[in-house]
C-alpha cells in the first residue's frame, strides 16, 4: 500500500490551491492530519475497480435550462448591503489588473 | 399540558380548532427558548419580533380560511446553513458572521407557504463539518439529556432545540449523517430523504452530490407531514427530481407484516458499543414480533464507505467553499497586500480548523497528479457501494441498524482526533453515497441515560416503506422527554449557564 509523505512543496501547493495562509504550526498540524487521512484513504486501493465507471451522481443528471428572463427582480440594494466595501453602487475590491 | 409538549401536527390541530392561536404558539416557543437557552444553546439567532409579526398574519390567514394545512401557525427552527431572507445566516462560521441573505431557501419557503413560523436559526458544526456541533465558531450546544455531552452534529442545534421542546420541529441537513446522528444522540426523529427529493436551493453547499435537507421532530408522523410539505421538484436545483409519490403520510400505518428487514452483519461488528447493539437487536425483535421477516446478511464494503465519503465530500467542499473569498459578502480581512493576499487572509481568519482541514484535503485529492488516485478512485468505490445496496434491496425492503456506534460523547472528547471522529459516521455515510432515504428514531437508553437511535434505510424513493416500519415500531414505545424539557434538574448546565451568557453567543445572536 502506498504511504504518502507530504513534502514542503506539496503543502505549499495545497495552500495555494486552497487559498489559505497557514502559520508554521498550522502547516505542521495540517501535514500530520492529511498524511494520517491519506493513509486511511489508501485502503480503497484494496478494491479492484477495473472497468467500473465512476459514479458522480446516483441518478442520471442533465443540465436544466430555462428562458433567459429576470424572475427575481432587482436585488441590488440588498445585495450591496452584504458587500465588505462599496463604492458608487458597486462592490469595492482590490485592483485586479496591472498588478 | 404545556403547549410546547405537543408535536407539530398536534399543535397545528390545536391552532386549527381555535384552542390556541398561532401567536400564542409562537409566544410559548419564545418563552421556552428564553428559559432553556442558557442551558442548551441551540440557537444562533432568534427572530423574536419577526416571528410574532408573522404569527399574527398567519392567524388572520387561518381565520380567513386561506391557510388550512397541518403546519399552519406552528413554530419552526431552521439550521443555519439554510438561507433566510433578512435573517442572518452564518453556517456557524466567522466568515459569514455578518451575512444577511437576500433570498430564502426553497425548503423554508415551502414551510412558510404552509403557514409555519420561523423562530430562529440553529447552531451547527461550521459549514456542517463535524459530528458534535463543537466546530461552531459561536460556542457549543449542550445535549438536553445531559449537559456534559454533545448533541451530535452537524445538525446539533436543530436536534437539541426539538429535544428541549423549544420548538416542535426543525429543519436540518444531512451530508454524511448530519441529521440522523444528532437525532440519535438527542432522542428525536429525523428523515434524510432520497437525494433530489428536497430542493437544495438556498442550502449553503458542503458536498453537493450528498447534501439533503430533512425534517427533525418528536415523532414519525410529524416527520412524514413535514417532509411532504418541503419535498417538491424545483428547477432552481439542477439535481432536483420529479417525483409523483410525495404524499409521505400515506406511509403512516401500523403494519409490518411480511416486511423484509435485513440487518447487515458488518453493522454489528467491531466498534459498536455493546449496549447500543443490544438495544438495536431488541428493536429488530419487536419488529419481528409484529410480523416483519428479520434476518442478518452480508452487505459488504462497509469499511470503505468512510474513506470514499471523505474524499468526495472534502473534494466537493474545497470547490464549494472557494466562493468565500471576502469579495462580495462575508468577512474580509482588515489588512492585505493586493487581491490574492486578501483572499488568503480573509479565508485563513474566517474559517475554523476543521473547515481548513477539509478544504486542504479536498484541494489535494482534486489536484492534478492525485485526482485519479483519490477522487476518481472514490467515485468508483461509490459505484461499488451503490451496487452492494442494489443487491441488498433485491432481497430486503428495509435495512436496519444503529444510527451511530455509540451514544453522545462528552464535550471536548472528540475534536482532538479527527480520524476517530470520522469513524463515528460508519453507519450513516453509505446512504449519502448511494442516495438512499434513511430515518433515525429513538429506541432506548444506555446505562448513562443517553438516547440510542435506530436507523432504517430504504431503497431510493421508498421513504413510505421506512416511514411505515418506523411508525410501527414507534407504536410500541412511548416518547421519552429529555430531562431539560421535562423540567428536571440540569445541574451542570445551570452552573455553566452564566459562563455561556458571558462567552458571547447569547449576547451576539440578538444582532440579526
A97 in contact with B, Cβ within 8 Å: no
Chain A from 15 to 44: CB within 8 A of any B CB: 15, 17-22, 26, 30, 33-34, 36-38, 40-44
Could you tell me the three cell numbers for A83?
458587500
Which chain A residue's Cα is nearest to B346?
Answer: A20
Q: Cα B100–B166–B415 angle (5° rounding)?
A: 70
Beta-carbon contacts of B227 under 8 Å, excluding residues fewer than 6 positions away, are B191, B193, B197, B198, B214, B215, B248, B463
Chain A: give the shortest CA distance to residue B221, in Å. 28
Q: What pLDDT is attached to residue A2?
A: 57
Distances (CA, A) of B168 to B9, B26, B34, B53: 9, 11, 15, 19
Chain B: give the shortest CA distance to residue A32, in Å. 11
Place of cell 439535481: B239
Place of cell 495562509: A21
Question: What's the CA gap between B76 and B29, in Å, rounded?
Answer: 9
What is the residue-wise DSSP string for B485-501?
HHT---HHHHHHHHHHH
Domain span including residue A32 = 8-46
> Has residue A32 been placed in a domain?
yes
Q: What pLDDT is attached to residue B489?
A: 52
Beta-carbon contacts of B35 under 8 Å, excluding residues fewer than 6 positions away, are none
Q: What pLDDT is attached to residue A1?
A: 52
Q: What pLDDT is attached to residue B498?
A: 35
Distances (CA, A) of B233 to A63, B7, B89, B199, B236: 15, 27, 24, 7, 9
DSSP letter at B7 equals -
Question: What's the CA gap between B297 and B304, in Å, rounded?
Answer: 18
Closest partner CB to B328 (pick from A33, A37, A91): A91
B58 neighbors B25 (Cβ within 8 angstroms): no
User: For residue B281, what is the enclosing H or E element?
Assistant: helix B274-289
Q: Is the dihedral of CA B352, B353, B358, B364 positive or negative?
A: positive
> Residue B361: its chain A contacts at CB < 8 A?
33-34, 37-38
Could you tell me the three cell numbers for A16?
495555494
What are the two backbone dihedrals, phi and then psi, of residue B67, each rounded to the nearest 5 degrees? Answer: -125, 115
B115 neighbors B73 (Cβ within 8 angstroms): yes
Could you tell me the three cell numbers for B291?
410480523
DSSP letter at B88 equals -
Interface with chain A: mutation pick from B360, B372, B385, B431, highest number of A CBs within 10 Å = B360
pLDDT digits (tens, 9 = 90+) for B299-328: 999 999 999 999 999 999 999 999 999 999
Q: What pLDDT is attached to residue B506?
A: 39
> Has residue A16 been placed in a domain?
yes
- Of the candidates B113, B104, B213, B199, the one whose C-alpha atom is nearest the C-alpha of residue B158 is B213
> Has residue A94 been placed in a domain?
no
> Has residue A36 been placed in a domain?
yes
Question: What's the CA gap between B57 and A48, in Å, rounded?
Answer: 60
Question: What's the CA gap between B309 and B3, in Å, rounded?
Answer: 41
Question: Are β-strands B260-264 and B293-297 bridged in parallel, bridged antiparallel, or unpaired?
Answer: parallel
What is the residue-wise DSSP string for B13-55?
HHHHTTSS-HHHHHHHHHHHHHHHHHHH--EEEE-HHHHHHHH
Kindly list the catalytic residues of B.
Answer: 79, 154, 178
What are the two backbone dihedrals, phi and then psi, of residue B174, each rounded to the nearest 5 degrees? Answer: -140, 115
Q: Provide the CATH number for the domain around residue A18.
A: 1.10.20
- Of the candidates B9, B469, B395, the one whose C-alpha atom is nearest the C-alpha of residue B226 is B9
A78 in contact with B, Cβ within 8 Å: yes
Number of domain units in chain A: 1
- Of the candidates B152, B35, B25, B48, the one whose C-alpha atom is nearest the C-alpha of residue B509 is B48
Q: Do B328 and A82 touch (CB under 8 A)?
A: yes
A45 neighbors B377 (Cβ within 8 angstroms): yes
Which chain A residue's Cα is nearest to B319?
Answer: A18
> Residue A79: its chain B contacts at CB < 8 A?
102, 328
Q: Do B381 and A43 touch (CB under 8 A)?
A: no
Q: What pLDDT is attached to residue A73?
A: 81
Q: What pLDDT is attached to residue A71?
A: 85
> Residue B329: its chain A contacts at CB < 8 A?
82-84
> Residue B322: its chain A contacts at CB < 8 A?
19
Domains of chain B by start residue, with CATH: 3-301+382-492 (3.90.1300.10)
Distances (CA, A) of B181 to B177, B400, B490: 6, 15, 23
> Has residue A92 been placed in a domain?
no
pLDDT grade, residue A72 (50/70/90)?
confident
Which chain B residue's Cα is nearest to A40?
Answer: B307
Q: Do B383 and A66 touch (CB under 8 A)?
A: no
> Has residue A31 been placed in a domain?
yes
DSSP letter at A96 equals -
- Of the candidates B492, B479, B487, B482, the one whose C-alpha atom is nearest the C-alpha of residue B220 is B479
Asked if residue B104 has a cis previous peptide bond (ω within 30° of 0), the answer is no
Q: Do B356 and A26 touch (CB under 8 A)?
A: yes
- Of the candidates B134, B418, B359, the one whose C-alpha atom is nearest the C-alpha of residue A32 is B418
Q: What pLDDT is attached to residue A63?
A: 84
Q: Do A43 and B304 touch (CB under 8 A)?
A: yes
| Mean pLDDT score, A25-44 | 94
Map residue B271 onto helix, strand or coil. Answer: coil
pLDDT digits (tens, 9 = 90+) for B134-158: 999 999 999 999 999 999 999 999 9
> Residue A37: its chain B contacts at CB < 8 A?
310, 361, 418-419
Q: Please list the ranges in chain B whose pLDDT falls under 70.
A: 1, 489-512
Place of cell 467500473: A52
Question: What's the CA gap between B329 and B280, in Å, rounded?
Answer: 46
User: For residue A17, what is the enclosing H or E element?
Assistant: helix A8-18
Q: Do B381 and A14 touch (CB under 8 A)?
A: no
Q: Do B378 and A95 touch (CB under 8 A)?
A: no
Q: What pLDDT is attached to residue A99?
A: 52
> Has residue A28 been placed in a domain?
yes
> Has residue A66 been placed in a domain?
no
Beta-carbon contacts of B25 under 8 Å, excluding residues fewer than 6 positions away, are B3, B11, B14, B15, B55, B73, B74, B75, B117
Which chain B residue's Cα is nearest to A93?
Answer: B327
> What ipTM is given for this predicted complex?
0.95
Amino acid at each position: 500500500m502506498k504511504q504518502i509523505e507530504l513534502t514542503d512543496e506539496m503543502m505549499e501547493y495545497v495552500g495555494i490551491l486552497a487559498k489559505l495562509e497557514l502559520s508554521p504550526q498550522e502547516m505542521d498540524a495540517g501535514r500530520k492530519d492529511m498524511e494520517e487521512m491519506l493513509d486511511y484513504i489508501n485502503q480503497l486501493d484494496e478494491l479492484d475497480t477495473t472497468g467500473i465507471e465512476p459514479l458522480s451522481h446516483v441518478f442520471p443528471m442533465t443540465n436544466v435550462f430555462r428562458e433567459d428572463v429576470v424572475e427575481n427582480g432587482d436585488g441590488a440594494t440588498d445585495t450591496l448591503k452584504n458587500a465588505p466595501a462599496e463604492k458608487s453602487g458597486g462592490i469595492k475590491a482590490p485592483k485586479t489588473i496591472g498588478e | 399540558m404545556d403547549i410546547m409538549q405537543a408535536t407539530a401536527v398536534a399543535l397545528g390541530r390545536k391552532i386549527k380548532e381555535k384552542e390556541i392561536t398561532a401567536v400564542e404558539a409562537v409566544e410559548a416557543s419564545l418563552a421556552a427558548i428564553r428559559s432553556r437557552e442558557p442551558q442548551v444553546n441551540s440557537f444562533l439567532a432568534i427572530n423574536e419580533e419577526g416571528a410574532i409579526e408573522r404569527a399574527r398574519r398567519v392567524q388572520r390567514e387561518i381565520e380567513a380560511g386561506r391557510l388550512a394545512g397541518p403546519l399552519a401557525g406552528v413554530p419552526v427552527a431552521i439550521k443555519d446553513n439554510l438561507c433566510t431572507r433578512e435573517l442572518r445566516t452564518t453556517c456557524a462560521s466567522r466568515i459569514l458572521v455578518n451575512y444577511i441573505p437576500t433570498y430564502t431557501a426553497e425548503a423554508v419557503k415551502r414551510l412558510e407557504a404552509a403557514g409555519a413560523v420561523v423562530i430562529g436559526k440553529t447552531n451547527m458544526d461550521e459549514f456542517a463539518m463535524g459530528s458534535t456541533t463543537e466546530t461552531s465558531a459561536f460556542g457549543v450546544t449542550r445535549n438536553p439529556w445531559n449537559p456534559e455531552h454533545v448533541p451530535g452534529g452537524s445538525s446539533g442545534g436543530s436536534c437539541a432545540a426539538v429535544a428541549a421542546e423549544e420548538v416542535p420541529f426543525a429543519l436540518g441537513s444531512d451530508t454524511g449523517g448530519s441529521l440522523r446522528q444528532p437525532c440519535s444522540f438527542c432522542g428525536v426523529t429525523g428523515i434524510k430523504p432520497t437525494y433530489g427529493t428536497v430542493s437544495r436551493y438556498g442550502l449553503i453547499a458542503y458536498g453537493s452530490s450528498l447534501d439533503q435537507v430533512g425534517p427533525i421532530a418528536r415523532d414519525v408522523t410529524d416527520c412524514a407531514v413535514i417532509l411532504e410539505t418541503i419535498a417538491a421538484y424545483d428547477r432552481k436545483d439542477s439535481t432536483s427530481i420529479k417525483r409523483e409519490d410525495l404524499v409521505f403520510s400515506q406511509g403512516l400505518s401500523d403494519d409490518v407484516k411480511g416486511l423484509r428487514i435485513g440487518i447487515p452483519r458488518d453493522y454489528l461488528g467491531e466498534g459498536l458499543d455493546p449496549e447500543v447493539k443490544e438495544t438495536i437487536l431488541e428493536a429488530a425483535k419487536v419488529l419481528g414480533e409484529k410480523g416483519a421477516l428479520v434476518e442478518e446478511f452480508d452487505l459488504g464494503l462497509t469499511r470503505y464507505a468512510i474513506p470514499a465519503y471523505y474524499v468526495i465530500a472534502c473534494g466537493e467542499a474545497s470547490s464549494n467553499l472557494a466562493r468565500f473569498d471576502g469579495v462580495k459578502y462575508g468577512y474580509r480581512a482588515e489588512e492585505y497586500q493586493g487581491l490574492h493576499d486578501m483572499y488568503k487572509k480573509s479565508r485563513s481568519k474566517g474559517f475554523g480548523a476543521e473547515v481548513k482541514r477539509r478544504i486542504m484535503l479536498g484541494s489535494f485529492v482534486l489536484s492534478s497528479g492525485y485526482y485519479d488516485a483519490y477522487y476518481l478512485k472514490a467515485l468508483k468505490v461509490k459505484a461499488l457501494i451503490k451496487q452492494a445496496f442494489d443487491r441488498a434491496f433485491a432481497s430486503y425492503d428495509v435495512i436496519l441498524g444503529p444510527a451511530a456506534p455509540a451514544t453522545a460523547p462528552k464535550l471536548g472528547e472528540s475534536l482532538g482526533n479527527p480520524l476517530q471522529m470520522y469513524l463515528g459516521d460508519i453507519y450513516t455515510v453509505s446512504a449519502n453515497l448511494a442516495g438512499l432515504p434513511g430515518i433515525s428514531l429513538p429506541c432506548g437508553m444506555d446505562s448513562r441515560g443517553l438516547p440510542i437511535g435506530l436507523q432504517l434505510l430504504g431503497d431510493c424513493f421508498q421513504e413510505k416503506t421506512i416511514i411505515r416500519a418506523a411508525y410501527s415500531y414507534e407504536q410500541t414505545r412511548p416518547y421519552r422527554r429529555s430531562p431539560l424539557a421535562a423540567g428536571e434538574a440540569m445541574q451542570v448546565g445551570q452552573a455553566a449557564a452564566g459562563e455561556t451568557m458571558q462567552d458571547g453567543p447569547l449576547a451576539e445572536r440578538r444582532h440579526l
